[in-house]
Structure formats: C-alpha cells, structure tokens
Amino acid sequence: MQSERLSMSPAASDHTNTFATGFAPIAAPDANVLILGSLPSQQSLQKQEYYGNPQNAFWRVMGELFGAGPEVAYTDRALVLQQNGIAVWDVLKSSVRPGSMDAAIDLSTAKPNDFPMFFDRHPDIELVCFNGKKARELYERLVAPQIGGNIGSLEYKSMPSTSPAYAAMSFDEKVRQWSFVRLVAGNHRRS
C-alpha cells in the first residue's frame, strides 16, 4: 500500500498568514438565545466543530446545563442545544489569525457574519451572550454599526470565556455564571 503525503499550502502551514473561515450557525428557526464566540480556533477548524479544543470548557459547561457535554457526539450536542432554544455562532465570518488566540485576530482582515440576515431568520432571539470579552468587542465594533436600531429589544450579556486561556475563574464559577443562559432558554417553547 502506497502512502500519500499531504502537502499544505504556504498559507496553511505558515501561522503568520493563517486565514480562518468560520462555520454556519448551529440554530433552529425558533432559537431565543444566541451564544457568540469570536472565530473558531485552529483545533476547531481542523475538527470542523465549534469549540473543538478539548481544553475549552464550552461543551463541559453545556453538559452541566443542558446535557450536551463532550461525551455526547457533536451532532447530538448541537441538536440538544437547538432543542433548548440555543444558537451558537461567531462574530467573525473570517479573518487572518496566526494561531488561536483572540488577541492575534488581524482586525484589518476581519469580516463579520451576516447578522441582519441571521436576526431576520431567527426573530425569537431575545438574548445574545458573548463567550468572552473579545467576542463582545468585535460585535460592538463590526456588527452593531450594521444593525443599528433595526433589531428589536435584544438583551446583551457578557459571559466568562470558556477558553483555556482564561484560567482565572474556576470551572464551577463559570458554570454558575453561564447558568443564566439556562434561565432564558427555559422560557423556550417548542411549537
């Protein structure tokens, strides 16, 4: 059996020129909570999964709150969140970002996702939660000017980052603070 060697383009192997493109949202049409990250990490891009870095606490937190933990298959986790009225997306559609740190996002190349279209297709969204400070900063800088006052009365809430880079807060405290999402999602009603 002959083995093949996969070659990577210079942009894919050179972290200084890494261009990251995000994913479609995880979202049912009747979602009422939107959780926003900044842009998928390198591990997430390789796995083609939101929060693909096993050190990121996002899925562990979702496991505690909704039963969508990392031990559950990714497609099933996504389904559990949708059934609970939770949507997951990123502020950015694409950007150059060497590595996975939010601080490395090249703002001159950052392109936001199409939020006017998203909110139009998901009119029940009442709460937007930012997974960390960078997601909120990017949203306020790149998205808020686009949508202006066109989006009803959305509530915005900054949540503690689930990133392994944010180790100042214990996992239990992150779960406690993220439980706010469960309270709003608890108002979600399936037709």
Distance CA 67, CA 4 (A): 40
pLDDT of residue 177: 96
Binned at pLDDT 50, 70 and 90, residue 13 comes out as very low
17-43 pLDDT tens trace? 677 888 999 999 999 999 999 888 888
Distance CA 111, CA 4 (A): 35
* Residues forming beta bridges with residue 87, ordered by sequence position: 34
Per-domain boundaries in the chain: 18-185
Say whether pLDDT at 75 is over 60: yes
- CATH number among 3.40.470.10, 1.10.10.60, 3.40.50.1110, 3.50.50.60, domain 18-185: 3.40.470.10
Q: How much of the chain exceeds pLDDT 90, in percent? A: 62
* Residues forming beta bridges with residue 37, ordered by sequence position: 90
Say whether pLDDT at 184 is over 90: no
pLDDT of residue 145: 86
Q: Which residues, 6 or more positions from 181, have their beta carbon under 8 angstroms from its beta carbon?
A: 33, 35, 65, 86, 127, 129, 159
The phi-psi region of residue 146 (left if phi > 0; otherwise alpha if psi is between -120 and 50; otherwise beta) is alpha
pTM beyond 0.75: the answer is: yes
CB 64, CB 165: distance < 8 Å: no
pLDDT of residue 95: 79
Q: Mind telling me the catalytic residues?
A: 56
Binned at pLDDT 50, 70 and 90, residue 16 comes out as very low
Distance CA 54, CA 145 (A): 34
Q: What is the 3-state secondary structure (H, E, C) of 138-186?
A: HHHHHHHHHHCCCCCCCEEEEECCCCCCCCCCCHHHHHHHHHHHHHHHC
Say whether pLDDT at 100 is over 80: no
